[in-house]
């Protein structure tokens, strides 16, 4: 099966910055793929090249085997893009915006399809108002509707849920899953790591224009995540930690009341017994599960 999206050694040099320094990625058909990275990492640049809005300095990009530089129209027809910035004319209504969009793709006006997409994005009751009357979150939904109306096989969502409320964000996630169930490939960028963890089959982390990690979220968590247990003591311990605790990797903070212990599945009872044997009482205890956020901060050196 051909890749949904493939880039080979993609580079982009702007006069003052190398936005991409050789990014090779293969995204399979039917995947939900998340692109993560700090501000300025190169995510939007990568998407812009793949979607034919920016030219690469070198390297290749293909969408379902269509080279975006050599067969831009064929590539463009397969994809839908939800850009990071709002880009529709505020004087048109959502319905008109979608009609024009079909027109750009050489498709006849299809009111049934337009109604379906407006309904799916909870915009049915705003179909005929001026787009400038829409709230920020509604504008973002209209952008998504615009990217989907021509039934693209690969959809790029550049921060689709920035500024979208929690309920709607969850609705959008559900909709992304529905799209995928229908065979659409989804590539998204997000700064909400919970979103990537929840939705993505695979996650790529880009930093300074380079791919620094690519894996399934569970594999990233297993290889970079930490599970640890944190104890708060009712009084500071004034001496060094007992040898047994030190050997388990337990550390104590400057206040002498916070103990942190890296957790391997087997040794929790030993840790508990040793901490309980300390002269100070335990007043709080919690375990910290590894999160993609933690992994991301580790990989990018905490700059995000
Ligand atoms: N049109 C442009 N001209 C010059 N430099 C640009 C241009 N577009 C982007 N850049 C630079 O390229 C680098 C990558 O930017 P890009 O927009 O791809 O980052 P990003 O990963 O999408 O960041 P964010 O999370 O903030 O959206 C940045 O240093 C940015 O300043
Ligand atoms: Mg961006």
CB neighbour class for 57 (10 Å; exposed up to 12, middle 13-18, buried from 19): middle
Cβ of 49 below 6 Å from ligand 1? no
| Residue 266 confidence (pLDDT) | 64
Distance from residue 20's CA to the centre of ligand 1 (Å): 9
Cβ of 12 below 6 Å from ligand 1? no
| Residue 303 confidence (pLDDT) | 53
Cβ of 19 below 6 Å from ligand 1? yes
All structural domains of the chain, each given as residue ranges with its CATH number in brackets, are 5-222 (3.40.50.300), 228-288 (no CATH)
| Residue 288 confidence (pLDDT) | 85
Alpha-carbon distance of 72 to 186, in angstroms, equals: 20
pTM, entire model: 0.86
Q: Which tokens belong to 245? A: 């605790």
Cβ atoms within 10 Å of 157's Cβ, excluding its own? 25
Q: Which pLDDT tens digit goes with each residue over 49-99?
A: 999 999 999 999 999 999 999 999 999 999 999 998 887 788 899 999 999
Q: Which pLDDT tens digit goes with each residue over 186-223?
A: 999 998 888 999 999 999 999 999 999 999 998 988 88
Strand order in 18-27's β-sheet?
Answer: 18-27, 5-13, 58-63, 66-67
Cβ of 44 below 6 Å from ligand 1? yes
- With the most atoms of ligand 1 within 8 angstroms of its CB, the residue from 11, 13, 14 to mutate is 14
Q: Is 299 helix (H, G, I), strand (E, B) or coil?
A: helix
Q: In which residue ranges of the chain is pLDDT below 50?
A: 304
| Residue 238 confidence (pLDDT) | 79
């Amino acid at each position: 099966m051909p890749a949904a999206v493939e880039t080979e050694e993609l580079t982009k040099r702007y006069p003052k910055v190398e936005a991409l320094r050789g990014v090779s990625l293969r995204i399979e058909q039917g995947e939900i793929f998340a692109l993560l990275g700090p501000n300025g990492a190169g995510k939007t640049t990568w998407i812009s090249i793949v979607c034919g809005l920016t030219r690469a300095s070198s390297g290749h990009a293909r969408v379902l085997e269509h080279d975006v530089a050599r067969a831009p129209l064929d590539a463009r027809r397969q994809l839908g893009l939800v850009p990071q910035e709002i880009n529709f004319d505020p004087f048109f209504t959502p319905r008109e915006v979608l009609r024009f969009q079909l027109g750009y793709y050489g498709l006849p006006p299809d009111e049934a399809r337009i109604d379906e997409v407006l309904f799916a994005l909870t915009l049915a009751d705003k179909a005929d108002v001026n787009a400038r009357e829409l709230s920020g979150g509604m504008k973002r939904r209209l952008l998504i509707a615009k990217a989907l109306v021509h039934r693209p096989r690969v959809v790029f969502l550049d921060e689709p849920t920035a500024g979208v409320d929690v309920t709607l964000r969850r609705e959008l996630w559900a909709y992304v899953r529905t799209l995928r169930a229908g065979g659409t490939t989804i590539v998204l960028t997000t700064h909400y790591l919970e979103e990537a963890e929840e939705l993505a089959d695979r996650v790529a982390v880009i930093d300074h224009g380079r791919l620094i990690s690519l894996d399934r979220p569970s594999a990233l968590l297993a290889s970079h995540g930490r599970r640890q247990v944190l104890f708060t003591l009712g009084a500071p311990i004034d001496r060094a930690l007992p040898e047994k605790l030190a050997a388990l990797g337990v550390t104590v903070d400057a206040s002498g009341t916070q103990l942190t212990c890296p957790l391997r599945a087997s040794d929790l009872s030993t840790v508990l017994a040793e901490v309980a044997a300390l002269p100070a009482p335990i007043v709080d205890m919690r375990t910290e599960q590894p999160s993609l956020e933690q992994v991301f901060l580790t990989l990018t050196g905490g700059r995000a």
